[in-house]
Structure 1
Amino acid sequence: MPEDAQLRQHLLSLLNDGNAHVTFETAIEGLPPEKRGIRPDGADHSPWELLEHLRIAQWDILDFSRNSNYKAHKWPDDYWPATPAPPSDAAWDESVKAFRKDLKTFCELVEDKSTDLFAKIPHGDGQTILREALLVADHNAYHVGQLVLVRRLLGAWG
């Protein structure tokens, strides 16, 4: 058994299982379509904006982690949708599907024994796959928590 097998399992659990946090799946489950584009009083973002930001940022970290031709995007413009409401129910569904797909791909990268979790990413400035996995988990947990709060403010939680 490789010495980093336990670390990989901890990372996968952190990325997928929520542990001390609500999971992405729980946070989006049962959200009525008519609430997806509403910014409630006291919140800066709608559920759509949070979902799209989660998807875009996660994709960007995945792209950086494996693409030697990675190009940085403009913050914050390229990381948030242009409107608070999704253009359609299909757009919401596509965003959820893409988030799940990219998370699965990132987990496969972590799980792959040929991935050196500690090696510096050649086109980065000191980042490692370990650091990027922790970044994805941290960023996702933060914004999934915001999504739960927004749902509470909308009266669409629990």
Structure 2
Amino acid sequence: MENHTAILIQELKKLLNGGTAHVGFAAAVSGIPFELLGERPYGLPYSIWQLVSHIRIAQWDMLEFSKDGSDQSLQWPDEYWPKETAPASEKDWQNALEEIDKDLKAFITLLDDRDWFETIPNGEGQTILREALQLADHNAYHIAEIVVIRRLLNNWKN
């Protein structure tokens, strides 16, 4: 049974890092010209910057909740979506990408350190496994939106 657990851990890590059945986050945001980050083509409701910011905020929230359940959830939807359509500077863009990477690595560390099936304190029955699957699903959904926007802006490789 231990071998099955190790296999499951590896598969969950692959899922969280993306890129097995779809484009991963790093590939989806690689090489985007700064001036395109705030574009919302064809009346789409979000820019790439807003999607990346939303991924960052939601992922951070899931990480903090998963640590011990003591974090206070943000107000939906206002605190999960930035109002600005573009980053103020390239440094803000790079900081957002670094925070996403750092928080994802921290979440993946929880998979090694915690019992996946134990209920998270102060939650409503959530487990680390549920949060890991939710995080992977959430990120994949919005990564696909980033790719679509890049295609609409003629800034995608395929």
Q: How far apart are the structure 2 equivalents of 1:101 and 1:46?
A: 23
**2:45 match:** 44
C-alpha contact 2:59 2:104 (8 A) present in aligned 1? yes
Give the SS at the match of 2:61.
helix
| Structure (1 or 2) with the greater helix fraction | 2
**2:30 match:** 29
Aligned counterparts, 1:59-138, within 5 A: 59-112=60-113, 115-138=114-137
Give the SS at the match of 2:156.
coil
Q: How far apart are the structure 1 equivalents of 2:141 and 2:147?
A: 10
Structure 2 stretches lacking a partner, 5+ long: none
Higher relative contact order by CA 8 Å / sep ≥ 6: 1 or 2? Answer: 1
Q: How far apart are the structure 2 equivalents of 1:46 and 1:77?
A: 16
Deviation at residue 9 of structure 1 after TM alignment:
1.0
TM, length-normalised to structure 2: 0.94
Deviation at residue 89 of structure 1 after TM alignment:
0.8
Q: Deviations over 1:63-87 (max 9, x none)?
A: 1001342101100000011211111
Q: Deviations over 1:2-28 (max 9, x none)?
A: 352221111001011421110001100
Deviation at residue 145 of structure 1 after TM alignment:
0.3
Give runs of ≥4 in structure 1 deviating > 3 Å. Answer: none
TM, length-normalised to structure 1: 0.94
Structure 1 stretches lacking a partner, 5+ long: none
Give 2:118's aligned amino acid: A
C-alpha contact 2:50 2:84 (8 A) present in aligned 1? yes
C-alpha contact 2:68 2:121 (8 A) present in aligned 1? no
Give the SS at the match of 2:75.
coil
Does 1:58 pair with 2:59? Answer: yes
C-alpha contact 2:66 2:128 (8 A) present in aligned 1? yes
Q: How far apart are the structure 2 equivalents of 1:136 and 1:11?
A: 11
Number of equivalenced pairs = 156
Give the SS at the match of 1:41.
helix
